[in-house]
Amino acid sequence: MIRQVFLIKNPGIYTLIQDGGRVGYRSFGVPISGALDEKALNQANYLVNNPKGYPGLEILSTGMELLALADCYVAFTGALATILVDKKVVKTYETLLIKKGQTIIIKTLKSGLRTYLGVHGGFVSDVIMGSVSINEQILIGSRLKRDEVLSTCKPFTDVLIKTIKKPVYDNHYKVILGPDNHKFSSKEIKKLFNNSYEVTNKLSRMGINLLGEKISHINGADVLSHPVMFGSIQIPANGQPIILLADGQTTGGYAVIGNICGDDLYKLGQTKAGDIMTFSRSK
């Protein structure tokens, strides 16, 4: 059963449908994709009584405007944004009932970068290689457009109103060294942990380029191309770290000094240009 729930009045800057990601295709060069801030997506899913990994909206920054075509339960998580429903500010991290005819606007952003909108039943979209996650670079779907209609596959049912605590979004990341730590002296490795790095404006769903204390290699930056992943910290020849994200390439030839711990990955989805990142070593 397909039920139309929203009409997009304004798609905002860049709004995507994202789920838990595309699993099992990296050996064919297909990135995992999925919500960059998976914790926020799953908290939204929890609030609207969906299983983990159900498709929600990943809304970059502000400007998005939706008209409800039917009653539905939703939840907003992720960035600290001002969200208006019929011009009234509503709470994030809480189950909300939206009535047919109401208008939702993502107005201003106080911190973070991406707001997640979960709807009871999840959003319907084409499943490509096991996932609905949009990745324009690899020709899978496209960003949402004005006048597009969003649907869910569940009939309207009441769900429990719940609240959940917003997680900590500091910019500190635990790093597990390797697999290319042999390319760096211990003095160079310490630079990553003893300095802070600024997020440059070169950032996308593929990766984040950082700027800070230069990290030098032993015998050149390149290694034989090997698997990389969401959270891999590459050091290219210029010594400035690049953190790969969910849409990043599956293999790479720059030395990977370390990988960000799984339980810190969600924060990468909320970092923006100018943010200052710090790192600490983890086992």
Partner 1 sequence: MKVTCEYAKMGSNHVFVRFSYVIDKLVNQYIKKVYQTLNTKQPKGFIEAYYAYGSLTVQFDLTITNYKAMKKAISLIISDTTITKVTKGNEVIIPVTYNTEFGLDLALASDYLKLSQDEIIDIHSSGKYTVYMIGFLPGFCYLGGLDKRIYLPRKKTPRLLIPKGSVGIASSQTGVYPLDSPGGWQIIGRTNLLLYNPYSEQPFLLLPGDTVRFVKK
Instruction: Tell me which residues touch partner 1 (CB under 8 A).
Output: 23-30, 128-129, 137-140, 176, 178-179, 223-227, 229, 231-232, 249-252, 256, 259-263
Kindly tell me which of 154 and 267 has the beta carbon lying closer to partner 1.
267
Torsion sign (Cα): 228, 39, 108, 5? positive
CB atoms under 10 Å from CB of 259, counted, come to: 22
Shortest Cβ distance from residue 84 to partner 1 (Å)?
A: 36
Which tokens belong to 279?
């790192």
Phi/psi for 14 (5° steps) reads -165, 100
Kindly tell me which of 100 and 202 has the beta carbon lying closer to partner 1.
202
Kindly tell me which of 10 and 282 has the beta carbon lying closer to partner 1.
282
Kindly tell me which of 155 and 227 has the beta carbon lying closer to partner 1.
227
Shortest Cβ distance from residue 250 to partner 1 (Å)?
A: 5
Shortest Cβ distance from residue 137 to partner 1 (Å)?
A: 8
CB atoms under 10 Å from CB of 213, counted, come to: 15
Interacting residues of 3 by C-beta distance below 8 A, sequence separation 6+: 70, 121, 151, 152, 153, 154, 155, 156
Which tokens belong to 213?
């204390």
Shortest Cβ distance from residue 98 to partner 1 (Å)?
A: 32
Kindly tell me which of 30 and 96 has the beta carbon lying closer to partner 1.
30
- CA–chain centroid gap for 273, Å, is 15
Name 199's bridge partners.
210
Shortest Cβ distance from residue 125 to partner 1 (Å)?
A: 13
Kindly tell me which of 92 and 135 has the beta carbon lying closer to partner 1.
135
Report the alpha-carbon distance of residue 56 to residue 150 in Å, rounded: 11
Instruction: Print the SS3 string covering 115-126.
Output: EEEEECCCECCC
